[in-house]
Amino acid sequence: MDALNAVAPPPTLGESRVRVKFNVVDREAERKNVDAIKYESAKLIDFCEEGKSDVNNKEWNPQAKAEANRLWALAQTHFEEAAMWAVKAATYGL
């Protein structure tokens, strides 16, 4: 398959949640800030997703696994929310 017909890999969960490809900012400095916020937030969300996978591979009782997964999911939600607030701060006044 040549480069023109190559298919990009699907976005990770983090990339999907913070919409890394979406940036309507025109000015380069603010655009870079928004891209950086989203990229780093996506990495944190994906890190948490790996944490959930690790939990599911442990020999813990079901209640412990459920609680650990709940905590990882909460962290993901708050990273997603933090990304929204950080983008709002980075673009304030534009």
Higher pLDDT, 2 or 14: 14
Whether 46 is in a domain gets the answer yes
Provide the pLDDT for residue 94: 81
Domain that holds residue 50: 29-94
Tokens encoding 44? 């944190």
Task: Give how far Cα 92 sits from Cα of 40, 67, 86, Å.
Answer: 20, 37, 10
Where do we find the tokens 């006044």? 93
Provide the pLDDT for residue 39: 98
Whether 10 is in a domain gets the answer no
Whether 6 is in a domain gets the answer no
- The pLDDT tens digits for 28-76 are 988 999 999 999 999 999 999 999 999 999 999 999 999 999 999 999 9
pLDDT at residue 1 tops 70: no
What is the band of 2 on the pLDDT scale with cuts at 50, 70, 90?
Answer: low
**Number of domain units in the chain:** 1
The pTM score is 0.88
What is the band of 6 on the pLDDT scale with cuts at 50, 70, 90?
Answer: confident
Q: Is the CB of residue 46 less than 8 Å from the CB of residue 12?
A: yes
Whether 24 is in a domain gets the answer no
Whether 80 is in a domain gets the answer yes
